[in-house]
Structure 1
Amino acid sequence: MSDLIGIGILIIFGALFAMSEISIAAARKIKLRVMADEGNRKAKAVMALQEQPGSFFAMIQIALNAIAILGGIIGEQTLTPYISELVSLIYVGPLAEQISFFLSFLVITSLFILFADLLPKRIAMIMPEAVAAKVVTLMNGITFALTPLVMTFNGISNLILRIFKLPTEREEIVTTEDIVAMMEAGAQDGSLQQQEYHLIGNVFELEGRTLPTAMTTRESIVYFDINDSSETISAKILEHPHNHFLVCDGHLDRLIGSIESKEILRQLLKGETAHLDDNLIKRDVFYLPETLTLSEALNAFKSAAQPFAIVVNEYALVVGMVTVKDLMSSFMGNLVTFHGEEQIVQRDANSWLVDGVTPIVDVMKLLEIEEFPDDNQYETLAGFLIYMMKRIPKRADYVIHAGFKFEAIDIDGIRVEQLLVTRISETKSSDDTLAPLED
């Protein structure tokens, strides 16, 4: 009977050490830090143990191996007599002893696998932080009690790791991929709302998108010429009711400054003709290079406290204009609707009308396309079509990629105004296909 109690005690200790090993290894530092900020001292102890786990794992291995050896010795001696009696009821012969030994080995091994290893580890994997916080104090105490053995084995293992130039301490770095994986898991189990999931995803996209994906392109900028008449100024304001207008001398690359439309309105309310008074023109124009990411642009706006910026290329030519509203629209995605013309309009379940200047990242997200070929060579869907065809597209030219047909349907000069994107049959080849060149 005492041997059976001994086996039970060994199984309990084996389960305790197995749970401790898995829980402390699997406990997430982010969640432990939250627990520590809430005043849980044991969570701090777990984080300290994770930073220098060598002594702990040395103690665990010493304990588990000792339990396994003792379990084999005690178990075989304890169970064999009982199993021999059971075997004798069925079989009496020259192999009875070997059969009894095999069955006793099988029973004791099954008990240890199930109750000292498998179940405890599954429990520890399900709630690693909670289990780790409960066992950390006891494990630190046992590690201290076994200090001589722990130091010996830990020192040898550290020496071997240094010989092979491997790190001896755990360094946990949370990457963007880790955060995205946690967000997806949270969205799937419902702990993270879909709006929150999309919002956080958009935040990460700010680092991967440059200003041309959010700006108003050069040809779409409405500006005042310094020599515009009162009628021209009034007509532009009526047709394009913006808050700010650029003031140029002939063309965009000869930029003078900007003026607020309310200043023109004030002139009209006073009974005056609309004119570009030098005193009303703001000369301090805010410029941003087109190579900036949206995240860097947001930081720049925060420092400059300007409502808009002129985007220029490396040759100091104006390529577009971006406002804080444009950046916020990219950040919020479809969570907030801004009034204005939509770049993507769905015609039916398998086709979309897409503006040529639509950022390629937005198309990828909408159509769930993982990648476009050489997507670092262009920013927009029109750029993709031009890059793939190696020429300026004509109306009805198309490219097939990832099961979708991208067809130019509206061409203004050399500018691709609009494309028709159609989902094609899945039986067709997924390789990129170009429309045949015209003779």
Structure 2
Amino acid sequence: MTITLSEILVTVLVLAALLTMNALFVATEFSLVKLRFTRFEEDSLEQARKSPMIAGMLDHMGATLKVVRLGVTTCTIGLGFVFVPLTLDLLRSTGVAWGVWEVRSALVVSFSLAVALHFILGELVPRALALQFPARTLRISSWPVRITRVFSGPFLNLLSWGSGLLLRIFRLNSRLDLNLIDVEAQIRSLVSDGDEMPPLAEKMLYNVIDLRKRVAQDILLPRNQIQFLDLEDAAETNIELARKTGHTRFPLCEGDLDRCIGVVHIKDIFRSSVPYDRIDFRKIRREILRFPAHEPLESVLQRFLRQKIHFALVIDEFGGAVGAITLEDILEELVGEIQDEFDREEALIRPLGEGRFAVDGLAPIHDVSDEIGVPIEVEDVSTFGGLITSELGEIPSANDTVILGRLEITILRVDEKRVLHTEVSVLPPDEEGDEDSEDKF
């Protein structure tokens, strides 16, 4: 059977139509993300929203993206459904008795060509146009999406019902309209590629996304650095401790942190009508929260805000206190270091030039990794000093030099409990003796 020229032209037109529709669906998705998740020019955005169709797509983004995903899936399958038969018909029309391997090779070549066309013309080009001209692109692509939504409505509702039923069977969240991983990647890409967003807002946005990956252990104040009020000490001793440290909240304990019975706020001490030397801290204590070391910071923040509490202990799997965490600690993960007029803290990590850094032993490991540009992947320790002690199995001596991965660490000061100050030099990959090694700790 010989394929005619008119049949070839019709098939090519069908392929072009499917490729065009796929490009429009992809352009719609990225235009919506660009307009929804970035600070786009207000005039252009308002102009775009004058179209009721575009305004509806922006306001009901989840439903629109379902139509888009259905359209992309249909067009992708349709391209293969049309392209492969076209290849076979062209082979038969030559009149040559093709062998099995020749036919398979031709199909592989045609499949590769279809993938290349789909990837370049159906994905990359419309994505670039959508990110550069989102409002203009959406005006063009909104009509095909709207028409598709009208005609595919019943089928899409059936698919939504079926997928919702399947998700409920597996006890998964059926209310998620967006793929959060895709949105996160798109937000990062849109922010880094554009210049519309102020640097502080860009930093905060990245920090909000990264907060989902952090746990309480990452930012806690280690146990041996916590100042607490001890009921076994005299009231005057505890008051003097509060005066010297200048903190506003103190754990109230019976001997040690593992026997913490609450938290005392300095304002409650001042408000007490009882003389300081006779104050009963048990009567003015407040509830104290306890979080597991691997509790996500997002969950900790929600509990703090919901219960209007600023201080909590972090405990291990046996219930022992390993440190403390405050609301301010979490907020600093979002907006950066927060200091008031009473703070006299020096930066925990200071660049010294030429790949050298002064690093305090209390510096969080993830902050050290971000600052020096070398990934550090460890568990069970949260501070840089704790990392050194954990790797060596002991507290090093002053002036010792330690090589950990690509980090040359000079110990400057220690005490009997921990590493206080260090100087870190980042070694080039070839100095590790392995030029092919990855750039990480």
TM-score (ref. length: structure 1): 0.63
- Cα separation, 2, equivalents of 1:359 and 1:273: 37
- Cα separation, 2, equivalents of 1:177 and 1:125: 14
Report what 2:325 is aligned to.
Answer: 322
Query: Which of 36, 44, 48 is the aligned partner of 2:67?
Result: 48
Does 1:289 pair with 2:292? yes
Query: Which of 126, 133, 153 is the aligned partner of 2:142?
Result: 133
> Cα–Cα, structure 1 residues 136 and 237, in superposed 2: closer, same or farther, change >3 Å?
closer
Could you tell which deviates more after superposition, 274-283 or 24-33? 24-33
Report what 1:399 is aligned to.
Answer: 402
Helix, strand or coil: the match of 1:127? helix
Report what 1:38 is aligned to.
Answer: 55
Gaps of 5+ in 1: 1-8, 69-115, 144-170, 433-439
Q: Deviations over 1:161-183 (max 9, x none)?
A: xxxxxxxxxx9963447524532
Q: Deviations over 1:299-348 (max 9, x none)?
A: 222343322112222222222222211221223234x5464524524252
> Cα–Cα, structure 1 residues 140 and 276, in superposed 2: closer, same or farther, change >3 Å?
closer
**Aligned residue runs from structure 1 range 215-226, under 5 A:** 215-226=220-231
- Cα separation, 2, equivalents of 1:117 and 1:254: 64
Given that 1:396 and 1:408 are in contact with CA atoms closer than 8 Å, whether structure 2 keeps it comes out as yes
1:48 CA displacement: 2.1
Counterpart AA for 2:24: S
> Cα–Cα, structure 1 residues 37 and 280, in superposed 2: closer, same or farther, change >3 Å?
farther
Report what 1:260 is aligned to.
Answer: 265
Report what 2:301 is aligned to.
Answer: 298
TM-score (ref. length: structure 2): 0.63
1:63 CA displacement: 8.9
Counterpart AA for 2:399: A
Sequence identity (%): 18
Query: Which of 199, 210, 235 is the aligned partner of 1:194?
Result: 199
Report what 1:423 is aligned to.
Answer: 426
> Cα–Cα, structure 1 residues 388 and 342, in superposed 2: closer, same or farther, change >3 Å?
same
Give the total of aligned pairs. 351
Does 1:370 pair with 2:375? yes
Report what 2:391 is aligned to.
Answer: 388
Report what 1:24 is aligned to.
Answer: 25
Report what 1:179 is aligned to.
Answer: 184
1:364 CA displacement: 0.8
Counterpart AA for 1:208: K
Counterpart AA for 1:320: G
> Cα–Cα, structure 1 residues 340 and 179, in superposed 2: closer, same or farther, change >3 Å?
farther
1:186 CA displacement: 2.1
- Cα separation, 2, equivalents of 1:59 and 1:295: 43
1:385 CA displacement: 1.6
Given that 1:344 and 1:355 are in contact with CA atoms closer than 8 Å, whether structure 2 keeps it comes out as yes
Helix, strand or coil: the match of 1:326? helix
- Cα separation, 1, equivalents of 2:234 and 2:319: 29
Helix, strand or coil: the match of 2:262? strand
Q: Deviations over 1:383-422 (max 9, x none)?
A: 3223333443222333334543122222111412222112
Task: Give the greater-gyration-radius structure (CA).
Answer: 1
Counterpart AA for 1:314: E
Q: Deviations over 1:121-144 (max 9, x none)?
A: 68644435534324456789999x
Helix, strand or coil: the match of 2:302? helix
Helix, strand or coil: the match of 1:348? strand
**Aligned residue runs from structure 1 range 145-184, under 5 A:** 174-176=179-181, 179-180=184-185, 182-184=187-189
Could you tell which deviates more after superposition, 56-65 or 278-287? 56-65
Given that 2:22 and 2:71 are in contact with CA atoms closer than 8 Å, whether structure 1 keeps it comes out as no
- Cα separation, 2, equivalents of 1:425 and 1:50: 45
1:57 CA displacement: 5.7
